[in-house]
Amino acid sequence: MTSPHDETHANPEPAIAVVMASLSLGGRRVLNAIDLECAYGHVTALIGPNGAGKSTLLSLAAGDVRPDTGHVSLAGRRLEDLSVAELAAHRAVMPQDSVLRFAYQVEEVVRMGRALRDLPPARDDTVVTESLRTAEIEHLASRDAMTLSGGEQARTTFARVLAQETSILLLDEPTAALDLRHQERLLRSARALARAGSCVVVVLHDLNLAAAHADRLVLLADGGVEAQGTPWQVLDAGRLTRVYRQPVSVLTHPRRHCPVIVTCDAEGDDAEGLAPSHEADNPMEASFPS
């Protein structure tokens, strides 16, 4: 994939800075005093239960929603100071609902990522072709996007995001509709972009994908940041059991040596009061209850 802008390496500001941001919707506080920085060069995964505020936080970072209090900056500039064109030059967004509702060809949809930017057209064909290839949808290029399967549509939307060539990518559950291979491929592409200097923020429900592919995890619960840090720091069995109200154990991936989360039955010792365990402190001792 084409490298993102070189200036990202030179910019000392965090790609995304959310400062004491709170937001109420429909009379309910959905984000509560969020303080968060996301760096260039990293994949940051937002995790947390349904309704925790992940998509709302991503919308805040995208500039689609304004906080009631606090503020958000991209590359050191307050969102309210950025024009629509400047926003599109900074960040690309893959929404949680990426259903394509218009009868465009797949290639046209991907090309729309370019149209959002004021980019010299000379590279358009190359970038669109690369984006189609990365998402493994070259064979679908001339298909009506509305006739695609759910996973094919998601891959088309991801390719559109890639074609936008921004240094900040905001992906809301991009793998939810994807098969195993394409989950891995998409997140490997995200990692490659981060290694090349981009800031990737990805909402994931699959904690194992988050553990395997993210540099940093942010666990949201009830509109607040419950924990943030490396996968081993955040994916503590006791914390996850409490936040998700679902007993889990934390094992070690046999090859990747990252955490692996397995759910457990709600009976027996593990479910006893959803008591915290400290398996993640000593990953090699983590065990799955018999």
54 or 114, CB closer to ligand ATP? 54
Q: CA geometry: angle at 72 spanning 70 and 75, to 5°? A: 150
* Cβ proximity of 38 and 198 under 8 Å: no
128 or 210, CB closer to ligand ATP? 210
- Find the shortest distance in angstroms from Cβ 77 to ligand ATP: 24
Which residues contribute to the site for Mg ion (CB under 5 A)?
54-55, 96
- Find the shortest distance in angstroms from Cβ 53 to Mg ion: 8
The first and second tokens of residue 77, run together, are 């500039």
Angle of helix 124-134 versus helix 150-163 axis, rounded to 10: 140
Length of the chain: 290
53 binds ligand ATP, rule: CB under 6 A? yes
**Which among ligand ATP, Mg ion, none contacts residue 228 (Cβ within 5 to 8 A by kind)?**
none
What is d(CA 257, CA 283) in angstroms, rounded to the nearest whole number?
Answer: 9
51 binds ligand ATP, rule: CB under 6 A? yes
- Find the shortest distance in angstroms from Cβ 50 to Mg ion: 8
40 or 244, CB closer to ligand ATP? 244
In three-state secondary structure terms, 173 is coil
Task: Report the residue from 40, 43, 54, 226 that binds ligand ATP according to the rule CB under 6 A.
Answer: 54
What is d(CA 275, CA 290) in angstroms, rounded to the nearest whole number?
Answer: 17
Kindly determine how many residues on this chain lie close enough to bind ligand ATP according to the rule CB under 6 A: 13
98 binds ligand ATP, rule: CB under 6 A? no
In this structure, what are the phi and psi dihedrals at residue 51, rounded to the nearest 5 degrees?
A: 80, 5
3-state secondary structure 4-40: CCCHHHHCCCCCEEEEEEEEEECCEEEEEEEEEEECC
Select the residue whose beta carbon is closest to ligand ATP and give its number: 26
25 or 103, CB closer to ligand ATP? 25
Task: Report the residue from 8, 44, 56, 98 that binds ligand ATP according to the rule CB under 6 A.
Answer: 56
What is d(CA 262, CA 208) in angstroms, rounded to the nearest whole number?
Answer: 9
User: Could you tell me which residues come within 8 angstroms of residue 290 by beta carbon, excluding any fewer than 6 positions away?
Assistant: none
- What is the b/e burial string over 114-133, where b = at least 16 CB atoms within 10 angstroms of the residue's CB? bebeebeeeeeeebbebbbe
First CA to last CA across the chain, in angstroms?
A: 45
146 binds ligand ATP, rule: CB under 6 A? no
**Which among ligand ATP, Mg ion, none contacts residue 52 (Cβ within 5 to 8 A by kind)?**
ligand ATP
24 or 233, CB closer to ligand ATP? 24
* Segment interacting with ligand ATP (CB under 6 A) among 2-10, 52-60, 119-127, 148-156: 52-60
174 binds ligand ATP, rule: CB under 6 A? no
- Residues 18-37: x where in contact with ligand ATP by CB under 6 A, - otherwise, as a string: -------xx-x-x-------
Neighbours of 138 (CB within 10 A): 14
**Which among Mg ion, ligand ATP, none contacts residue 79 (Cβ within 5 to 8 A by kind)?**
none
Which residues are at the interface with ligand ATP (CB under 6 A)? 25-26, 28, 30, 48, 50-56, 96
